[in-house]
Amino acid sequence: MEEICKHLEDIQEIKVASELVCEECKKVDGWWVHLRTCQTCGATLCCDSSPAKHMTKHFHHTGHPVASSAEPGEKWLWCYEDEAFVEYE
Ligand SMILES: [Zn+2]
Ligand SMILES: [Zn+2]
Ligand SMILES: [Zn+2]
């Protein structure tokens, strides 16, 4: 049984990455492993397997709780605040 948080339940339409690059890594010629898209502001940033962990930093700086995977073929959302995960169609 999945436990879904309020933040995930509130999402009506999922924001997708406009470009498959980490916006912050791109500025400093950094590299990343996987990309995530913030569901509050639409920023696409790198995951926790990446050296700079920009999406986690974004959550701590902005409080934007939910990120989706921006990887092609991956359809899931993650809430940092509640550590809740959900897959979608
Ligand atoms: Zn939540
Ligand atoms: Zn990054
Ligand atoms: Zn954001």
Helix, coil or strand: residue 69: strand
Instruction: State the pTM of this model.
Output: 0.93
Q: Which of 75, 32, 86 is nearest to 44 (CA)?
A: 32
Ligand nearest to the CA of 85: 1
In the predicted model, what is the mean pLDDT of residues 17-27? 97
Distance 1 CA to ligand 3 centre (A): 28
Angle ∠(29,32,38) on CA atoms, nearest 5 = 105
Which tokens go with 32? Answer: 């990343």
CATH code for residues 15-87:
3.30.40.10
Distance 49 CA to ligand 2 centre (A): 10
Statement: residue 1 has pLDDT above 60? no
Distance 30 CA to ligand 3 centre (A): 20
Question: Would you kindly state where each structural domain of the chain is located, as residue ranges?
Answer: 15-87
Helix, coil or strand: residue 57: helix
User: How would you classify the pairing of strands 44-46 and 76-79?
Assistant: unpaired
pLDDT digits (tens, 9 = 90+) for 46-65: 999 999 999 999 999 999 99
